[in-house]
Amino acid sequence: MRRLPVYLLLDTSGSMSGEPIEAVKNGVQVMISSLRQNPQAIETAFISVITFDTTAQQIIPLTDLASFQMVDLKATGVTALGEALQLVANKMDTEVAKTTTEQKGDWKPLVFIMTDGIPTDDWQRGLQAFKQRKTAFTVACAAGSNADASVLKQITDNVVSLDTADSASISKFFLWVTASIGVSSTRVEDSGKEVTGLNELPPPPPELNIVV
Distances (CA, A) of 192 to 4, 109, 129, 177: 11, 14, 27, 20
Q: What is the pTM of this model?
A: 0.96
Answer yes or no: is pLDDT of 14 > 90: yes
> What is the tens place of the pLDDT at every residue in 18-75?
999 999 999 999 999 999 999 999 999 999 999 999 999 999 999 999 999 999 999 9
The counts of H helices and E strands in the chain are 6, 7
**pLDDT at residue 55, rounded to an integer:** 97
Distances (CA, A) of 142 to 74, 164, 189: 19, 9, 31
**pLDDT at residue 47, rounded to an integer:** 98
Answer yes or no: is pLDDT of 196 > 90: no
> What is the tens place of the pLDDT at every residue in 175-189?
999 999 999 999 999
> What is the tens place of the pLDDT at every residue in 106-140?
999 999 999 999 999 999 999 999 999 989 899 99
| Residue 189 CB contacts under 8 Å (≥ 6 apart), including other chains | 40, 43, 44
